[in-house]
Amino acid sequence: MSSHEEITIDTVLKNIKFQLDFKNEALIRSAYELAERAHLGQKRKSIIDAYIQHPLHTALNLAIIGLGAKTITAGLLHDVPEDTQVSLKEIEQKFGKEIASLVDGVTKLGKIKLRGTKEELYLENLRKMFLAMASDIRVVLIKLADRLHNMETLEYLPPEKQQRIALETMEVFAPIANRLGIGEIKGRLEDLSFQYLDPENYAYTEKLLHDQYGQRKKNIDRIVNELKKELLREGIDVVAIFGRTKHLYSLFQKLKRHDMDIEKIYDLIGIRIIVHDLANCYETLGIVHKKYRPLVGRIKDYISLPKPNGYQSIHTTIFGPGGDFLEVQIRTKKMDDEAEYGIASHWIYSEKKRKLKNFFMKSKHAVPEEELVWVNQLREWQSDIGKDDQEFMEGLRIDFFKNHIFAFTPRGDIIDLPEDATPIDFAYRVHSEVGNRATGAKANGKMITLDYKIKNGEVIEIITSRNHKNPSHDWIKFVRTSLAKGQIKKYLKKEGLL
């Protein structure tokens, strides 16, 4: 649906992912009626659009990613206290404290603007965005839905505002969408920002993708049809099978890593197969490989070893007809929802189980702890480092926005680490005493140095000394995580060595 298309409240209601009861439908309609009256006569920068279209599109984005009635209600009302005569107190009186709190949280985040350098942008925005996450994740989800529609209508703003908002989106909002696992919003935010921040390379990449897709479309259609028949013959009930292309910004980043050589990009265009259950995923992989020869070394099982943001899927690259390489992604419907909508998808599945029972951070309806472990880690970490802005900056970049890997303890516990993390980072993530007493390490049973860069999926064993603690100044030079740096400095200060 186009961001410029006029929509109604019925459009929003039709896109809600679960069965609404009368009470919740009435709640959403009541919020729409108040917002429509409050914004009456207001126009957006396009002049032709009535302002109410913005909260409606924000609410639609929230409905599409699977959020509940209260969050959609807050999305409809998110600009009311700031831009109209209706106060937050009036919203609380009419819709209750919980919805008023969500609206207030979005209003406060809206006041944070990019000023000065990128450094200041990170410091000013990220601290507040992450604190909002740690208190109620829905505030950030509403803000992402709001920002997505703002980016889709950015053409109507002056060039200097376009640049500021696009930079803020690329540097702050897209990484947060990625960390929350909301692949669809992350990809769209990046592409929209890319269009304004680097129009020349945007146009080049867009043409390249368009030309490649045009050349390969017949082959893709043929493979989709052949796989449909083959899977049906083998008794696999397919939910969906379709061709897909990479997002433009993601493609451009990959091109840069491969000297702008399109022939080296194996996942430019691919096919996604969605099936009903886990067993079907692996059966489907076998059927695909029986039909088309796989490229050795290009099978990635993110089901048994998910990405740190929760992404699960099987990826394999095949030789298609005509000699083209083609990536095939295989996943269940639940995995697909989680890949597209991330943390928001948990509302969809819990709604189905619990019937319209919202759950959020710091409440009796909380998102399960394991789903947001890193948000809680962040809250503790912020408390530990206090007000040191430089340390906060560096930690954010490495701990939260850098690509992540998984490593295992010898007992099979998963340790989530940023790329290039070392055995000392691993040790401190296990426990501060394991880090302090570390004297050596093994990866997959072989001795490694303490500054070794851990690879995804390795089993790391830390060798410790019972007799003495071992942290040294040298460790600070090569560790990657702020947790490890903080613990080493804490020990050295305590011993009078720093």
Contact 260, 290 (CB under 8 A): no
Stronger pLDDT, 131 or 194, i.e. the higher one: 194
Task: Give the integer Cα–Cα distance in Å for 249 and 175.
Answer: 13
Q: What is the per-residue pLDDT for 365?
A: 39
Which range scores top for mean pLDDT: 32-36, 65-69, 211-215?
A: 32-36
Say which of 25, 36, 83, 92 is annotated catalytic: 83
User: Could you tell me which CATH number the domain at 377-494 has?
Assistant: 3.10.20.30
Q: For the ranges 105-114, 120-129, 282-291, 407-416, which has the lowest average pLDDT?
A: 120-129
**Burial level of 143, CB count in 10 A (0-12/13-18/19+)?**
buried
Q: What is the per-residue pLDDT for 354?
A: 45
Q: What is the per-residue pLDDT for 212?
A: 84
CB proximity list for 234: less than 8 A, separation 6 or greater? 283, 287
Q: What is the per-residue pLDDT for 357?
A: 39
Q: What is the per-residue pLDDT for 72?
A: 95
- The residue ranges of every structural domain in the chain are 9-197, 217-332, 377-494
Over residues 391-423, the pLDDT tens digits come to 655 555 555 655 677 788 888 777 878 888 999
Q: Which CATH superfamily is domain 217-332 in?
A: Beta Polymerase, domain 2 (3.30.460.10)
Query: CA dist 148 to 61, 192, 416, Å?
Result: 8, 9, 29
Identify whether 83 is a catalytic site residue.
yes
Q: Using the Cα atoms of residue 492, residue 494, residue 497 and residue 498 in order, give the sign of their dihedral.
A: positive
Residue 390 has pLDDT above 50, yes or no: yes
Say which of 6, 10, 33, 82 is annotated catalytic: 82
Stronger pLDDT, 280 or 156, i.e. the higher one: 280
Task: Give the integer Cα–Cα distance in Å for 392 and 119.
Answer: 11
Q: What is the per-residue pLDDT for 361?
A: 38
Q: Which CATH superfamily is domain 9-197 in?
A: Hypothetical protein af1432 (1.10.3210.10)
Mean pLDDT of the chain: 83
Terminal C-alpha separation, the chain: 59
Residue 232 has pLDDT above 90, yes or no: yes
Give the pLDDT band (50/70/90) at residue 313: very high
Q: Rounded to 5 degrees, what are φ and ψ at 342?
A: 55, -135
Identify whether 82 is a catalytic site residue.
yes
Q: Rounded to 5 degrees, what are φ and ψ at 379?
A: -60, -45
Q: What is the per-residue pLDDT for 309?
A: 66
Over residues 321-332, the pLDDT tens digits come to 877 788 999 999
Give the pLDDT band (50/70/90) at residue 2: low
**In three state form, how does the secondary structure of the chain look?**
CCCCCCCCHHHHHHCCCCCCCHHHHHHHHHHHHHHHHHCCCCECCCCCCECCHHHHHHHHHHHHCCCCHHHHHHHHHCCHHHHCCCCHHHHHHHHCHHHHHHHHHHHHHHCCCCCCCHHHHHHHHHHHHHHHHHHCHHHHHHHHHHHHHHHHCHHHCCHHHHHHHHHHHHHHHHHHHHHCCCHHHHHHHHHHHHHHHCHHHHHHHHHHHHHHHHHHHHHHHHHHHHHHHHHHHCCCCEEEEEEEECCHHHHHHHHHHCCCCHHHCCCCEEEEEEECCHHHHHHHHHHHHHHCCECCCCCEECCCCCCCCCCCCEEEEEECHHHCEEEEEEEEHHHHHHHHHHHHHHHHHHHHHHCCCCCCCCCCCCCCHHHHHHHHHHHHHHHHHCCCHHHHHHHHHHHHCCCEEEEECCCCCEEEEECCCCHHHHHHHHCHHHHHCEEEEEECCEEECCCCCCCCCCEEEEEECCCCCCCCHHHHHHCCCHHHHHHHHHHHHHCCCC
Q: For the ranges 67-76, 187-196, 447-456, 462-471, which has the lowest average pLDDT?
A: 462-471
Q: For residue 437, which of 453, 447, 424, 448 has the smallest C-alpha distance? A: 424
Over residues 131-183, the pLDDT tens digits come to 666 667 888 899 999 999 999 999 989 999 899 899 889 988 888 888 787 88
Task: Give the integer Cα–Cα distance in Å for 147 and 171.
Answer: 13
**What is the share, in percent, of the chain residues with pLDDT greater than 90?**
47
**Burial level of 111, CB count in 10 A (0-12/13-18/19+)?**
exposed
Task: Give the integer Cα–Cα distance in Å for 353 and 26.
Answer: 22
Residue 286 has pLDDT above 90, yes or no: yes
Stronger pLDDT, 369 or 311, i.e. the higher one: 311
Q: What is the per-residue pLDDT for 125?
A: 62
Q: What is the per-residue pLDDT for 4?
A: 66
Residue 349 has pLDDT above 70, yes or no: no
Residue 96 has pLDDT above 80, yes or no: yes
